[in-house]
Amino acid sequence: MNLHCDLHSHSTVSDGTLSPTELILRAHEKEVEVFALTDHDATEGLKEAALAADKVGLNFVPGIELSVTWSHQTIHIVGLGINPDDEILNRGLQVLREFRGRRGEEIALKLEKKGLEKPLEGAKKFANGEILSRTHFARYLVEQGKAKDIRQVFKRYLVKGKPGYVAGKWASLEDALSWIHGAGGIAVIAHPARYKLSSTRLRQLIAEFKELGGLGFEAISGSHSPDEELRMAQLANKFELYVSKGSDFHSPENVYRELGYLPDIPVGSRPLWHSDAWKERIGDFT
């Protein structure tokens, strides 16, 4: 029942600060048994991570965290057990990255108006590859002394209603699920309590997600409080979704919760790795 797993994490390929190999070594050190790398809108780290995991004997699950716009709101959908080379998925990712590039320019213009110098160049200095994230802007603003930490930067500059905010135009929920399923993966609603959706809207999201063949619900998340975890696990049960868990680890300096340090799936909930889909596509860990 209680597998020591962590099914949500980020590397330097998106907005994390550890390379895929460093991340795998850290997971191994923390005695994680099953580990997924789920970079934002990118699969480039998956081969390196799989090789590193193989060397240390860690069960690795290739994953992704897709940015989705659902009902004017940004939602994240994790895909687990995906084929990194799937063509349709990669074509979709290309579109998301192009939006990231355009949005980065818009964010930079807005921050310049607030007196920041060369914010685009600054953010890019913190980005490793194709993915330009708000986190990279946040790291630059911290470096520039505009706030004490990343969380403060988001609050002051990068969220809705703040000077550097640009609305997301991401994938549709339908496209995201079809890309994940087409690439052989299992879809999971990431950190459901983070969106601050009303209970009606969250139920609506779940209903649409299920209709599209979605299976997992990340009730146990490094960004949830214990109370949120319990409420989200109950909601998963009600909608007959399988519960997933992930730290959403980004960096050793900036932890919601340490990689791998997550509570057990509550009694009465069904862990995602008990699903037939998981057993067929990823392996049997029961």
> If 0-12 CB within 10 Å is exposed, 13-18 middle and 19+ buried, where does residue 236 land?
buried
Cross-strand partners of 272:
none
Distance CA 83, CA 63 (A): 9
Q: Which amino acid is at 120?
A: L
Q: Which amino acid is at 79?
A: G
- 15 binds ligand AMP, rule: CB under 6 A: yes
Distance CA 82, CA 179 (A): 9
Residue whose C-alpha is closest to residue 8's, from 242, 196, 171, 189: 189
Site for ligand AMP in 83-122 (CB under 6 A): none
Binding mask 237-256 vs ligand AMP (x if CB under 6 A, - otherwise)?
A: -------------x------
- 133 binds ligand AMP, rule: CB under 6 A: yes
Nearer Cβ to ligand AMP, position 9 or 269? 9
Which residues contact residue 227 at a Cβ distance below 8 angstroms, ignoring those fewer than 6 apart? none
DSSP 3-state assignment of 194? helix
Site for Mn ion in 164-193 (CB under 5 A): 190
- 209 binds ligand AMP, rule: CB under 6 A: no
Distance CA 119, CA 218 (A): 34
- 154 binds ligand AMP, rule: CB under 6 A: yes
Q: How many residues bind ligand AMP (CB under 6 A)?
A: 10
- 76 binds Mn ion, rule: CB under 5 A: yes
Residue whose Cβ sits closest to Mn ion = 76
Largest Cα span, the chain: 56
- 39 binds Mn ion, rule: CB under 5 A: no
Site for ligand AMP in 28-67 (CB under 6 A): 40, 67
Q: Which stretch binds ligand AMP (CB under 6 A): 28-36, 51-59, 147-155, 205-213?
A: 147-155
Is the Cα torsion angle 270, 201, 104, 96 positive or negative in sign? Answer: positive
- 86 binds Mn ion, rule: CB under 5 A: no
Rounded least distance, CB 68 to ligand AMP, Å: 11
Interaction site with Mn ion (CB under 5 A): 15, 65, 76, 190, 248
Interaction site with ligand AMP (CB under 6 A): 15, 40, 67, 133-135, 150-151, 154, 250
